[in-house]
Amino acid sequence: MENGVVRRRRRLTASLLLVAAVSLAATAGSLARIAGVETGGLAGSPAIELLKARFRRPDAVPFPKANPHSPGKEDLGRTLFFDPRLSRSGSVSCASCHNPSLGWSDGLARAVGFEMKPLARRTPPIMNLAWGSAFQWDGRAESLEHQARMPLTAPDEMNMTMEMVIERLVAIPGYRALFAQAFERPDAITAESVTAALATYQRTLVSGRAPFDRWVAGEESALGPDAKRGFALFTGKARCASCHSTWRLTDDSFHDIGLTGDDPGRGTFAPPSVVTMQRAFKTPSLRDLRLQGPYMHDGSVRTLDDVIEHYVKGGAKRPSLSPEMRPIALSADERHDLIAFLSSLKAEPIRVELPQLP
């Protein structure tokens, strides 16, 4: 009940925010028109500079007061993340699905879990989540600490209980030392410290500087003219930025974009009367997008061309469809420009130090 109230309040704030976002998007649209589609020609114009400022990267990673960063916690979190002993079978680690060499995902349309069972949803990449406010495609986890328990204890994922996780870790001498160092106390191996360390490590996973970031920071030659036109479309006529907003290219909110499939998504937590939350999923970040796909919560869209085609058509008409989803007319050149912009959000992969398992 209590939770329901909190959620409803959040939803209210969310819809107020949505109104704000829609009007922001409207200004963004007119700004892009002022700037002209050929933004390259208007480099440095006040309108385009204002637009760019909305996508500027923050300087520092935010860590919550309740779980501040420490190098010891980060190291421990990294070790746990790559350790398959955290699964019942002893063969699945977080990194089995969130594989750094596959953009912190698995390259599959839908994840494969315990005993090779296909799961219902695609594995999302886990970059830039320190700034997130709701986790999982349906937002059912409210923090990374809360989220970390879910794959550990899901029967079709790592299939453990938190008691079994603790029991296993306590039996490994190297872990006793790592936990004691990270939490500055003996007997620190608890469910809370396991999830705190995993969350801390994940908060340190931040996209590198992409060509788009260098352009936003003033390096005019960092983007080609097609990507600049793509940015104008993205923030203007194509309306992408009404949901893919901020430097992470997500509003961290939930929308039904009219895909096929009957997963209720956010609707699981909203009464049927909250129509726009039915079949709604969290807006994914578009940074470091795997350019070879597959895309969406169910991996149902194969290529970027198909993604653009979906937005051009506007998605399945139904009551829950986001009001931002309307057919858009885009020429072949404009589609190319949008994809050039999306590609400019890709940075060199960050360097990953693989831990030595104790």
Q: With respect to ligand HEC, which residue has the nearer C-beta, 157 or 213?
A: 157
Site for ligand HEC in 202-241 (CB under 6 A): 202, 238-240
Q: With respect to ligand HEC, which residue has the nearer C-beta, 219 or 333?
A: 333
Q: With respect to ligand HEC, which residue has the nearer C-beta, 23 or 218?
A: 23
For residue 40, count other CB atoms closer than 10 A to its CB: 18
Q: Please give the Cα distance from 93 to 159 (Å, whole number).
A: 11
* φ/ψ of residue 56, rounded to 5: -70, 135
In the chain, % helix, strand, coil (3-state, to 5) comes to: 45, 5, 50
Residue 69 marked as a ligand binder: no
Site string for ligand HEC, 120-159 (x = CB under 6 A): -x-xx-x--x-----xxxx-----x--xx--xx----xx-
Q: With respect to ligand HEC, which residue has the nearer C-beta, 189 or 198?
A: 198
Q: Give the list of residues 6+ apart from residue 258 with CB closer than 8 angstroms, or none.
A: 310, 314, 315, 316, 317, 318, 321, 322, 325
Shortest reach from residue 322's CB to ligand HEC, in Å: 4
In the numeric block, the tokens 């409207």 are attached to: 26
Query: In which element (H, E) is residue 255 found?
Result: strand 254-255
| CA-wise closest residue to 92 among 39, 160, 147, 28 | 160
What SS3 class is residue 301?
strand
Site string for ligand HEC, 26-65 (x = CB under 6 A): ----------------------------------------
Give how far the C-alpha of residue 100 lies from the chain's centroid of Cα atoms, to the nearest Å: 15
Shortest reach from residue 275's CB to ligand HEC, in Å: 14
Check binding of 194 to ligand HEC (CB under 6 A): no
Give the DSSP per-residue string, 61-76: ----TTS---HHHHHH
* CA angle, 7 then 10 then 15, to 5°: 125
In the numeric block, the tokens 């036109």 are attached to: 229
Shortest reach from residue 44's CB to ligand HEC, in Å: 26
Site string for ligand HEC, 241-270 (x = CB under 6 A): -xxx----------x-x-x-----------
Count, residues near ligand HEC per rule CB under 6 A: 49
Shortest reach from residue 315's CB to ligand HEC, in Å: 9
Annotated binding site for heme c: 94, 97-98, 240, 243-244
- Which spans of this chain sit near ligand HEC (rule: CB under 6 A)? 92, 94, 96-98, 111, 113, 119, 121, 123-124, 126, 129, 135-138, 144, 147-148, 151-152, 157-158, 198, 202, 238-240, 242-244, 255, 257, 259, 281, 283-284, 286, 289, 295-297, 307, 311, 322, 324-325, 338
